[in-house]
Amino acid sequence: MARTIGLRPAAAHASAPGSGRSVTSIAAVPDPSHSVDQHRMLRALVDELARCGLREACTSPGSRNTPIVLSLVREPRVRCFSHIDERCAGFFAIGAARAAGRPVAVTCTSGTAAAELMPAVVEAHWGRVPLIVLTADRPAELRDVGAGQAIDQLKLYGDHAKWFCELELPPVLDVAAMRWIRQLACRAYWTALHGRPGPVHLNVPLREPLVLGAPLTPEEPELAGRPDGGPWVRYLAPAEDAPPTATSPLPPRTVLMAGRTEDDARVASEIAAFAERLGVPVLADPQTSARQGATAIATYDLLLREPALAAPLAPDHVIRIGDLPTSKPLRAWLAALGPDVAQTLVDPFAGWQDPAGAVDGIFPAQPGRLLRTLDGSPDPAWLAAWRDADERATAALAATLDTQAGLSEPLVARRLGEWLGPEVTLFVASSMPIRDVELYLPARAPLPRVLSNRGANGIDGTISAAFGAAAARPGQPVVLLIGDVALLHDLGGLLAARRLGLELTIVALNNDGGGIFHFLPVSGEGAPFEEHVATPHGISLDRVAALFDLGHANPGAEPELHAALDAATGSGAVTLIEVRTDRRENLALHRRLADAGLAAVAAGR
Ligand SMILES: Cc1ncc(C[n+]2csc(CCOP(=O)(O)OP(=O)(O)O)c2C)c(N)n1
């Protein structure tokens, strides 16, 4: 006989037709206390983040994160930027945090939405960008039981998050509970910002109803924050570290290599003072303004390519400050210097940026602490050799570029460095743009401020990050230099142009695919290379501009590019300046430029 398992007659259900609350009855029914309390909890959280210094937040749509979104939007100290795609929201937050140098919050709903923030969290981890990620989640009773949009969000980002916390609503929002929330907000903010900056993840389970029928009443004084308006927990920066015990006196052939640091203005001026005082060549990548000092060497990427030409420039000591520059020749040169050459890494957070294992000393303190104490008798002839080589290479590169008809990728990088002033932020995409900027950006003031997502070297999210930089510095122009593949990868980022009212000038180098891959051995693989590695698409960017209502220019020569840039910066609008190039010609030009530069250096020997 067939058995009936668990079949019962349908019971009258609370949500049967007719029993649901009508729109007009919502306000009449008192809000459940848990619902009010989760809004109060989030209001306290956001209030405390704002007290710490939060000024920007990115939202993305959904139902479960409604209480978080509303709490952020209702906080007058925080500007909220709405994004449709969480990936764009995450990278926008990265750009804003990079430009502002302080944490930016980003929120999303539960499920795959939270997973969409993974690339930005990864970049923020490796790029040391302070982010506060607020993911909404289903409460415990709706996890792993087939409820919609519920995935396992606990520690979703793994070790990429500097700190994870499940922000469960306390049973009673009494004084102790409110203290916990306020303390937790401060902890999130300070953890993201201090020490080695990075992303923190707060996962917030929220129960329905998610929206209140009546506005929240002001908090009782004993449950509110500090009466002076300050954060619940202040972060007291540690006193300057104890005086260093540096190698003294400085070896006569000391070279200083500088990359991005958190505190660039201060570090760059300390480097400049040190380098000038002791006549030390400075190999500074474009992301630090140390590149503008009197002894800055712009063309290290070229000078170190040929071991024979690099030999007279060999140091007996290397001081390394900040991120490792992108340049492959520089990395290879550092790796090959040998154990007799001391390499000192100065890093307040002991970042271990040393893929070759060549560093023999880590100095875990602010660079100025070390540089101020160093003294010695440098070798002036050796510094002169560096400068002579740099001047020759720079002149040869410029002369070769000047003989080219039309616009090329290195020429655009060079001219942006010459034309854009220090008030401009130049956001540079990964792939060839950052490499061309590294070699062709001049090493003299005034230069634009250069930002780039080099934490994980992804081409993703670049447009969004540039918009974020524009949001963080209102009134100051941002120019994005980007390849076509990176642009198409973050096409959704262009939605910000229509939705956020920000100004951005995008200079897109359209070579119909990934030009960088032509520099690699894989380029010899014929049709599979073209289809699967170079990935041409045949898209003319005027159609992209039309889709998003962007201004579009297609300059073919320098004066037109200059005019397009002038018209775009300060216009208040988003402009797409498309520079058409050819991948094969680009490779050939890079080779000609390198040959000319190296020949000029050789002629001086
Ligand atoms: C998210 C991500 N996917 C893939 C890559 C691998 N990658 C590096 S460069 C590149 C092509 C970039 O092409 P484009 O932006 O047009 O710049 P170009 O190489 O022409 O300078 C790709 C796909 C990456 N770095 N990041």
Q: Which of 463, 485, 585 to mutate to test the pocket of ligand 1 (most atoms within 8 A of CB)?
A: 485
Contact 96, 170 (CB under 8 A): no
157 CA to centre of ligand 1 in angstroms: 24
Q: For 363, phi and psi rounded to 5 degrees?
A: -110, 100
Is any atom of ligand 1 closer than 6 Å to the C-beta of 432?
yes
Query: What pLDDT is recorded for position 236?
Result: 79
Q: What span, in angstroms and rounded, lies between the C-alpha atoms of 58 and 243?
A: 42
Query: What pLDDT is recorded for position 248?
Result: 63
Q: Please identify every stretch of the chain with a pLDDT value under 50, giving residue numbers as ranges.
A: 1-26, 243
Query: What pLDDT is recorded for position 79?
Result: 98
Q: What span, in angstroms and rounded, lies between the C-alpha atoms of 76 and 65?
A: 19
111 CA to centre of ligand 1 in angstroms: 28
413 CA to centre of ligand 1 in angstroms: 17
State pLDDT tens for residues 159-206.
999 999 999 999 999 999 999 999 999 999 999 999 899 999 999 999
Is any atom of ligand 1 closer than 6 Å to the C-beta of 430?
yes
Q: What span, in angstroms and rounded, lies between the C-alpha atoms of 244 and 98?
A: 30
Helix locations, 244-341, DSSP H = 264-278, 300-303, 307-310, 328-335
User: What pTM does this model have?
Assistant: 0.92
Is any atom of ligand 1 closer than 6 Å to the C-beta of 460?
yes
Is any atom of ligand 1 closer than 6 Å to the C-beta of 523?
no
State pLDDT tens for residues 498-508.
999 999 999 99
Query: What pLDDT is recorded for position 28?
Result: 66
Query: What pLDDT is recorded for position 360?
Result: 85
DSSP state of 376: B
Nearest CA to ligand 1 atom 26: 458
